[in-house]
Amino acid sequence: AEDALRTRERQYRDVLDSMTEGFALFAPDFTILDVNAETLRLDRRTREELVGRNHWEAFPGSEDSPQGEMFKRVMRDRVPEAMEHSYSWPDGKTLWVDTRAYPTTHGNIAIQWRDITDRKQAEAALRESEARLRIALDAGQMGVWDWDAASDVTRWDEAQRNMYGVGPDFAPGTSAFMDFVHP
């Protein structure tokens, strides 16, 4: 029985430590019961520095943060939640993190998180690029249209509609658009 228990513990540890997401298990009083290797790598602390400590003490200032409020709601309401947020470690490292909290059947909550910094930076760069394009198009008073070949739907911006003298409800397909093109 002890060998079987040790085997199951090794399997459990192997699963947790093979995850590319951070993982933690909190008791109802927010004591950290377990963490995985990715958590230790991201946090730059040892298992002994985290396991057995209250989460609020291990991560000062987190109790009243949006993330801390989410953890408390999940513990209280027993309903999973997720959020994307910026997180700064004491050493100044800041990452965008997708955090998910799940109630367990034994009254604990399981937390998973992953670094989404690259995605958030790409989204911000795309928004900035689209804003610059919109400024250029507006300044040049250029009409813009977009045709979706699969659905045969053509979308026109306001400048394009104004050039052709049609109202905002005008939504041409390709054949209707071709009516506006000189043969």
Number of neighbouring beta carbons within 10 Å of residue 109 = 24
* pLDDT tens by residue, the chain, 183 residues: 888 889 888 988 888 888 889 999 999 999 999 999 999 988 889 999 999 999 999 998 889 999 999 999 999 999 999 999 988 877 788 889 999 999 999 999 999 999 999 999 999 999 999 898 888 877 777 787 777 778 777 778 888 888 888 887 776 665 566 666 666
Dist. CA 128–CA 11, nearest whole Å: 46
Collapsing DSSP to helix, strand or coil, 177 comes out as helix
C-alpha angle 93-94-99 in degrees, rounded to nearest 5:
125
- Spell out the residues 6+ positions from residue 49 whose beta carbon is closer than 8 angstroms to its own: 58
Helix (H) or strand (E) holding 98: strand 94-103
Q: What is the pTM of this model?
A: 0.69
Provide the 8-state DSSP code for 53: S
